[in-house]
Amino acid sequence: MLIDLKTRINNIDANVRTVTAEQAATELSQNKGTLIDVREAAEVTSQPVPASLHIPRGILEMKALELFKDEATPLYIHCASGIRAKLAAEQLSKMGYSNISVVTCAIDTINQVNQR
């Protein structure tokens, strides 16, 4: 049985912690986690988020194991719409990472909060 993208994302929503940019910034300042941008390179070039570590969604699983050795590392994931971030969070969770949050706001908001 095929599942459309909307249904797939709705099923992920139940299991993914979501936070605002403000919540993420506050937590990141306390827990020394990592803000990860899973957008494609062209998107990052046109609208960068300097506070983020850029790891495109397509290679996230390979890079995560290389960069984050502790499964409890706080990871905050964002993209342009939230869809790739949710898919990324689901995959990282399946890989064993246990402290994952999706930042659910616009890129401009993430940049504004991180410039304070």
- Is the pLDDT reported for residue 26 higher than 80? yes
pLDDT of 102: 96
pTM here is 0.90
Domain assignment present for residue 3? The answer is: no
Domain assignment present for residue 2? The answer is: no
C-alpha span between 68 and 61 (Å, rounded): 10
Domain assignment present for residue 6? The answer is: no
71: three-class secondary structure by DSSP: coil
Q: Which CATH number covers residue 91?
A: 3.40.250.10
pLDDT of 13: 65
Domain assignment present for residue 36? The answer is: yes
What percentage of the chain exceeds 70 in pLDDT?
98
* Structural domains in the chain (count): 1
C-alpha span between 82 and 66 (Å, rounded): 24
Q: Tell me the residue range of the domain where 86 lies.
A: 13-114
- Rounded mean pLDDT of 51-65? 96
User: How high is the mean pLDDT of the chain?
Assistant: 92
User: 75, 68 in Cβ contact below 8 A?
Assistant: yes
101: three-class secondary structure by DSSP: strand
Residue 77's H or E segment, with its range, is strand 75-78
